Structures are given as C-alpha cells and as structure tokens.
Amino acid sequence: MDEIATATRPRATQGSDTDPLFQPYRLGPFNLRHRIMMAPLTRSRARQPGNVPSSLAACYYAQRASAALIVSEATQVSMQGQGYAWTPGIHSREQVEAWQRVAKAVREAHGLIFNQLWHVGRISHPALQPDNMLPVAPSAVIPEGKAFIENERGEGELVPFVRPRALNIEEMPYIVAQYERAARNAQAADFDGVEIHAANGYLLDQFIETGTNRRTDTYGGPVENRARLLFEVAEALMPIWGPDRIGVRISPMGKLNDIHDENPEATFGYVAERLSDYGFAYLHMVNPALEQMQNGQEPDPKAMNMVRLIRKKYKGTLIVAGGFQADTAAKWLREGMADLIAFGRKFIANPDLPERIRLGAPFNVDDPTTYYGGGEKGYTDYPTLAQDRGEQPKACVDQRWR
C-alpha cells in the first residue's frame, strides 16, 4: 500500500465544472443521489472450490456503496459460462448465499447493486469448462489471444484459446434457461436488479456481430437473426424482474476479445432501437471513444457518431462507461450524450470516488498488479478520505471478512 500512497496522485476537477455529476436522477424505481455509477470490474477473487464470492467481496462492494448504482463484476450464469479463473458464478446455492451477504452489506451502506449476468461463449478454455468440454460459440471461430486459467499448481496461467464448438439450434432454449435461472438466483440473493452482459466479445455479443457469427439458420445472417438470442434472454427475464430492474450492456465498435462487425451502425442502431421498446431501466454502453479518451486524445469522429446514433435510437436512460475524467464526464452529461456515467478503474483505488470528485480531492493511484487474484491487497485496502483523516477505521483486511 505504501508504494501506491506515495505515488503521484491526480486531482479531480472541482467546482461548477462537475455540477452535472451531482444532479439527482430517477432510474426505474430508484431515486439516485447523483450520476456517478460503478462499472462492472472483474477481480478474480472468488473462493475455491466452487467460484463463490468471498466475504471480503462484501467489504469491497460496501466500501463503494456511495456510487449511484453498482453493477457487480461479471457473474457467470452457469459452469459453461465461465471464461477466467476465480470469477464468481450465480448458479449454485453456495454462490447465491454468498451474494446475499454482498447485497446485504451494500444495502446496509445505503447503496444499490445490480448483478451482471455473463456467459463468455468462446472466450474460455476446456480447463474452465465442466468435464473439459469445448467452449461454445455461435460459430467455430478461434479467437486471437489467450485464456486465463488455473494451472495444476493452482497458479494463474495464460494459455492459447481453442476452437470453440458451434451451438446447435436445439441448444438455444438451454442457453436462455441459463440466464433465466441466474436471474431468479439474483433475485433470491436480494440484488436490486440485473444487467444482461451483451458486450465485449462475450456470447451474446458474439451472436450479434458479423465477425463471430457465420450461421445460416435463424440465429445468423441479417441483424434481426443475429440479435435474436439477446432478445430471447431479455424477454425471459422480464417476468422475473420487471423491465424497470433490468439493464443491458453493449459495446458498439468494441475490439475486446477479437470482436468486430462489418456494419456496426446498422447492427447497433437496430439493437438500441429494439431495446428501447422494452422499457428497461437503462442501456449501458461501453464508450466507443474509450481508447482515445484514455490517452487524452480527441475522440474519433466515427466513435462520436456512434454515440449520437445510440442516443437517438434508445429512448430511455443511457449510461456510458470508459475513458472519462470528472470534467469530460460532466461535459457529456451537460451535452446530453449520456444520463449517467460509469467509472471503472477509478473506483478500484477510490472507494469514495463521488466524494473525491465533489471536493476536488486527490485520487489514490491504482496498482494494476493487484487487479486480478489475491486477497485484500489492492482490493479492500485503498483508503477513503475519512480514513486518511483518521475519522474512520482503516480499510478492511482479512480478519472479520473471511
């Protein structure tokens, strides 16, 4: 922690420039205090065996309950849906009971938390699959890159992806049923809602985008077919949660996990317009200009055109995540390009991020070597301003949360 505490700390923007971030907002049945959300962040710290959220996770999320809304780390809907070592699921009784502790801790800290439902599709490996089976996908296309698995020594290891198995059309109801069961489990775990993960090159996105979907049946070809599985999942979840407690995440023009589409404007314009008809709580978009904004560059005009297209097509609440500083987030809100802004990595190191932005206080610097795996270091030991001032006890460590 010392090396982080003594590193150069960027300062948040203070004053009227950030005022739009601190306007209240009505999101479905919820009255949000401000517009600063916590984006889903994979941390690979689930207890083994069983990929169960640890008690330390309850501390981690409760620390960040000042976010207007927390979207949990991506949570696999089934054993088949897992793509990384040590990520939590929501398909077993033990997992549901552990998530109950997380949701309770967030609620006691006066926060809101949605569970992000996740099936990785081809972004997996037989070592992560039940009975060492092949990962599944819309089509048998090998992704570039490597899978993060646990090796025989219990260590994290990167290994090449394998060719996935193309799903049979008869299996589609089974995929939908995985999401349906997970949504019921999220309700049993006392989450405030769920987010359907249809972004970042995972299964639903693999069906949506042309680079990964080469099917010729009713789940391939025109965008109406490629988006069919997403809408089947959405419709299955509506009787469980009601539309105003469901969100959907998409990543138009995204490149993560070797994904691409030959006509992203047509594809995601259609998806956004169709989703608008459901009356969901929100559409959560990964910022198409993320890379440029992270690097302090002017956003690419094509990326900004995509943002404007989604804003036009989707009539409900639009959340945008990725690449924002406090001033750029406020600017996007002021110009109507988003209704809420989701911050990811800044929340890792700054559990009280909204207060730091409001006061223009220094930010803690995150330590990327502790993003994935491990215990409390780089997870629950980042201090709040109040802890720095000695007004609150030190951040959570193992003892009472294990």
Write out the catalytic residue numbers: 202
Nearest in space to 203 (alpha carbons), one of 165, 243, 237, 162:
165
Question: Distance (Å, rounded) from C-alpha 244 to C-alpha 263?
Answer: 30
Q: Do 195 and 115 form a contact (C-beta atoms < 8 A)?
A: yes
Q: What DSSP designation does 371 have?
A: S
- By residue count, the chain amounts to 402
Report in angstroms the alpha-carbon separations of 393 from 276, 305, 402: 45, 47, 18
Q: Position 106: which residue type?
A: V
Nearest in space to 166 (alpha carbons), one of 208, 130, 221, 214:
214
Rounded (10°) CA dihedral 196, 199, 203, 209: 130
Question: What is the three-class DSSP state of 181?
Answer: helix
CA 104 to mean position of chain CA atoms: 20
Omega within 30 of 0 (cis) for the link into 49 = yes
Q: Rg of the chain over CA atoms, in angstroms?
A: 20
Rounded (10°) CA dihedral 16, 281, 108, 179: -140
Angle 170-175-177 from CA coordinates, rounded to 5°: 105
Q: Position 115: which residue type?
A: N
Question: Distance (Å, rounded) from C-alpha 129 to C-alpha 73?
Answer: 20
Q: Do 90 and 179 form a contact (C-beta atoms < 8 A)?
A: no
β-partners of residue 42 are none
Residue with tokens 């780390």: 73
Question: Distance (Å, rounded) from C-alpha 259 to C-alpha 209?
Answer: 7
